[in-house]
Structure 1
Amino acid sequence: MIIEVRTYTLRLGAMREFLALYAAEGRAVQVSHLGEPVLYLASEIGEQNQVVHAWRYRDLAERDARRAALEADARWLAYRTRSLQADQVRAQHNAIFREVDFAAFAALQAKNA
């Protein structure tokens, strides 16, 4: 399993409008292709004006297929165009993490002991 974590840094004061637009036009279409997010968070303490969300996939091939379907959906393209026109996002950071299989790790440790 992999988890993709996306962090968006918004322009000062854009949080409310970013979340409102996403709730009204982006969320349903994104969930229809990617499934429910593992998490969807807005910063409170620390670095401000950030939205962090994470998506779970079996592997990179599933991620690629689901993202391609999302990017081919006219509803998503319309939402993304409106979001870009609103000039809400200042920076984006993506990271992909692999699940740690502790059972396999313990077996390897035992074998090498």
Structure 2
Amino acid sequence: MIIDLRTYTMVPGRLKAFLELYEREGLPVQRKHQGDPIGYFVTEIGTNNQVVHMWGYESLGDREKRRAALDADPEWIAYRAKSGAAGNVQHQENKILKSVSFSPM
């Protein structure tokens, strides 16, 4: 199993708007192609204005296939255009995590 760990740093004051738009328009499309996220969080202590989410995949090939289907979905394309135009995200960081032999996942 691999985990796609993403951290978005929001423009100050835009976190609520990002989450509302994503929950309403982005998440349903993403679930259609990727299933449920492992977790979706906001920072409480540490760097402020961050959204952290994790998606699980069987392999890099599985991730590539499901992401390609998502990226080709007209609903996702429309959501991404709307989200980008809203100017909510200041910075994005992605990490691919690979579990070790003794990991419970």
Q: TM-score range by the shorter chain?
A: over 0.9
Amino acid at match of 1:4: D
2:13 aligned with 1:13: yes
How high is the TM-score relative to the length of structure 2?
A: 0.95
Identity %: 50
- 2:50 is aligned to 50
Match of 2:93 in 1: 93
Unaligned stretches of 5+ residues in structure 2: none
Cross-structure match for 2:65: 65
Q: Which residue of 2 aligns with 1:81?
A: 81
Question: 1:41 & 1:23 partners in 2: Cα distance?
Answer: 13
* Match in the other structure for 1:102: 102
Q: Deviations over 1:29-70 (max 9, x none)?
A: 001111100000011111000000000000000000000000
After the TM superposition, which segments of 4 or more aligned residues of structure 1 sit over 3 Å from their partners?
none
The letter for the 2-side match of 1:33 is: H
Question: Rg bigger for which structure?
Answer: 1
- Report the secondary structure of 1:102's partner residue: coil
Letter in 2 for 1:91: H
Give, in angstroms, the shift of residue 102 of structure 1: 2.6
Q: CA RMSD in A?
A: 1.0
TM-score by length of 1: 0.89
| Bigger helix fraction | 1
For 2:23 and 2:44, locate their aligned partners in 1 and report how far apart those are by CA, in whole Å.
19
CA distance in 2, matches of 1:57, 1:23: 21
Aligned length: 103
